[in-house]
């Protein structure tokens, strides 16, 4: 339940229409709380109905007409209440890390390219943040609200710094893996988590292949469309090894 409060904050900073808000959610506030224009219009409606904000423009509810909102005292009170209410951090969901983990199981083919792309995106974002800091927070600006806003910007900068650093490290690792795969080419399947014995050559083939850095996207079957029934005789991937001493943690599997 944060979107309404994001909007209240934005409107307190500057009364705006839906589209103006949308634009501001593309930068600024949107850097840590994104929202589409549909979400915003819907929420503006609710907030108005609840009496937390009100439309400024007298009365011209025509469709293509601009309609600005401002925050009412009740809205401000609600924002104060929300801000000082304890909230648990939401459990994180990061698809890139998930993909990396999947890659540890099925092979890393093709992932490297996207890793590089992400690195570039984060580098660009970081540069943008730094530029904003240079421009908007010169030394000396230290009124409490400036400090708080600067703190938020610092979080953005530090986060992007983390990502660029980590992605750089990851790419270096990928290169090393590819190299060592070259060294031991054809010798082994390089699979660790559980003892895999024969049973599924496709998997070994894939793992080996990806270790060799072969990039390909069309190994896969139909992504959507109708999947005809389960391949009847198809042997499932191998059963877990009896000595399944699995590691634990975000990078591995708990026992």
Partner DNA sequence: GGACACATGTAACTAGTTACATGATTTG
Partner DNA sequence: CAAATCATGTAACTAGTTACATGTGTCC
Nearer to DNA, 37 or 149 (CB): 37
Nearest to 112 by CA among 199, 210, 2, 207: 210
Secondary element (H or E) of residue 70: strand 68-71
- 108 within 8 A of 207, measured Cβ to Cβ: no
Nearer to a copy of itself, 41 or 194 (CB): 194
Rg of the chain over CA atoms, in angstroms?
Answer: 26
The answer to the question of residue 146 lying near a copy of itself (CB under 8 A) is yes
Partner that binds at residue 20, options DNA, a copy of itself, none, CB closer than 5 to 8 Å by kind: DNA
Nearest to 44 by CA among 72, 14, 7: 7
Going by DSSP bridges, is the β-strand pair 16-17/53-55 parallel, antiparallel, or unpaired? unpaired
Contacts of 11 (CB under 8 A, 6+ apart): 21, 53, 69, 70, 71, 75
CA distance 159 to 164: 9
Partner that binds at residue 145, options a copy of itself, DNA, none, CB closer than 5 to 8 Å by kind: a copy of itself
Partner that binds at residue 251, options a copy of itself, DNA, none, CB closer than 5 to 8 Å by kind: a copy of itself
Nearer to a copy of itself, 63 or 230 (CB): 230
Judged by CB under 8 A, the residue of 19, 38, 66, 97 near a copy of itself is 97
Residues in contact with DNA by the rule CB under 7 A: 1-3, 17-20, 34-39, 41-42, 44-45, 61-68, 90-91, 93
- Least distance from DNA to the Cβ atom of residue 3, Å: 4
Nearer to a copy of itself, 63 or 90 (CB): 90
The answer to the question of residue 9 lying near a copy of itself (CB under 8 A) is yes
- 243 backbone dihedrals φ, ψ, rounded to 5°: -90, 55
Secondary element (H or E) of residue 237: none
What SS3 class is residue 65? coil
Q: What mask, x for binding a copy of itself by CB under 8 A, covers residues 164 to 203?
A: -xx--xx--x--xx--xx--------xxxxx-x--x--xx
The answer to the question of residue 127 lying near a copy of itself (CB under 8 A) is no
Q: How many residues bind a copy of itself (CB under 8 A)?
A: 155
């Amino acid at each position: 339940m944060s979107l309404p409060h994001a909007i209240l904050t934005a409107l307190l900073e500057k009364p705006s229409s839906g589209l103006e808000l949308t634009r501001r959610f593309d930068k600024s506030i949107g850097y840590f709380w994104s929202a589409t224009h549909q979400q915003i219009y819907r929420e503006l409606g609710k907030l108005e109905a609840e009496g937390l904000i009100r439309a400024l423009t007298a009365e011209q509810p025509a469709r293509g007409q601009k309609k600005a909102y401002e925050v009412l005292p009740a809205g401000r009170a609600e924002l104060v209440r929300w801000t000082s209410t304890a909230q648990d951090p939401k459990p994180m969901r990061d698809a890139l890390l998930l993909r990396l983990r999947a890659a540890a199981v099925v092979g890393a083919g093709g992932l490297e390219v996207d890793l590089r792309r992400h690195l570039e995106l984060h580098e660009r974002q970081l540069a943008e943040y730094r530029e904003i800091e240079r421009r908007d927070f010169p030394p000396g600006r230290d009124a409490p609200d400036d400090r708080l806003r600067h703190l938020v910007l610092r979080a953005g900068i530090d986060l992007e710094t983390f990502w660029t650093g980590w992605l750089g490290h990851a790419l270096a690792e990928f290169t090393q893996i590819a190299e060592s795969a070259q060294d031991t080419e054809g010798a082994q399947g390089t699979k660790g988590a559980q003892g895999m014995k024969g049973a599924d050559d496709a998997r070994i083939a894939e793992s080996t292949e990806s270790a060799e850095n072969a990039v390909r996207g069309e190994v896969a079957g139909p992504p959507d469309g109708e999947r005809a029934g389960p391949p009847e005789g198809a042997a499932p991937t191998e059963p877990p090894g009896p000595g399944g001493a699995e590691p634990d943690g975000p990078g591995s599997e708990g026992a």
